Amino acid sequence: MSDLPALIEPELATLATRPPTHGEWSYEIKFDGYRMMARIENGDARLISRNGLDWSKKMPHIRAALASFPVDNAWLDGEAVALDAHGRPDFNALQNAFDRRSVAEITLFLFDLLWLDGIDRRHEPLSTRRQLLRELLDVVDSPLIRFSDTFDGDPDQLLLAAREMKLEGIIGKRTDSPYRSGRSKDWIKMKCEKREGFLIGGVAGGSFLLGVREEDGSLRYVSDVEAHLSPRQTVALQGRLKPIAESPFAKRPKRNAVWVQPEIIAQVRFLEWTPTGRIRHGVFEKIDTAHNL
């Protein structure tokens, strides 16, 4: 028997572009929510964010559900998620729930068990830890706490299905791996990202300010993305950008920037469009030399 740790840092997945070819792996949905570690001790539960912040007061319903677990102590790993009408994770709804302090319907999906009743389980294989977690959740009756199921099948087909369902992606985990805090290659994430070209309307520091043309010809701001250009590429692009005095955007972003004629297209990959017409998690890929105006 050991003392329950005050804090355990989460294991983080490494971004991958293709499934691994060696080892035994299981795959889960990549939930689009807030990562949460749950600490339970003597009927008291706490929710700890990925950055080590105590979020217990932000989610009192989930905290109460965890406190009712039939355990003396435990550490659990999961994701707080808001589900849409089709049962899909909706990150914007999650943000709105916290902004409005209306969190009663947020669900905690649990996918790992690190500690249970005085025993540190982190050195045990993932498959063993998840079996213990499933057995625990089988005796817990709460719609707010769910088990994150795994899916059989070819991971490429799973990723395709996730894309068709408009999910964020999938997570792959080595079934024989222990739990290691920090970034790990035993956990991988493959995202269902979108790719589009956007007009550069300004430059601020090392970022491009991007926009799209509306039907009336106006330029609508959609996001900033870090440029990630080599020195040679930077010099070449500077020779093509044409500075202008005023912002070309219909609604000027609240940024100090060098405004430019919106003629150069940046190819960007991103997760999704938000309801307000912005792109989320945009990552610059390249300057589109084939379709610039």
What are 12's two structure tokens? 């983080």
Distance of CA 20 to the CA centre of its chain: 21
Give Cα separations from 111 to 14, 29, 41, 101, 265 (angstroms). 17, 10, 19, 26, 41
> Rounded to whole angstroms, how far apart are CA atoms 241 and 102?
46
Measure the CA angle with vertex 121, ends 117 and 124; round to 5°: 150
Residue tagged 């691994």 (tokens): 20
What are 111's two structure tokens? 């996918």
* Residues comprising the chain, all counted: 293
Q: H helices within 141-230, ranges in order?
A: 155-164
Closest CA to 31 of 79, 85, 98, 97: 79
- Please give the single-letter amino acid code of residue 285: E
DSSP category for residue 272? E
The residues, any chain, with a CB within 8 Å of residue 255's CB and separated by 6 or more, are 202, 204, 209, 224
> Rounded to whole angstroms, how far apart are CA atoms 94 and 46?
19
Q: Is-contact 66 40, C-beta < 8 A?
A: yes
Which residues are part of the catalytic machinery? Answer: 30
Q: Burial letters for 120-140: b for 16+ Cβ neighbours within 10 Å, e otherwise?
A: bbbebbbeebbebbeebbeeb
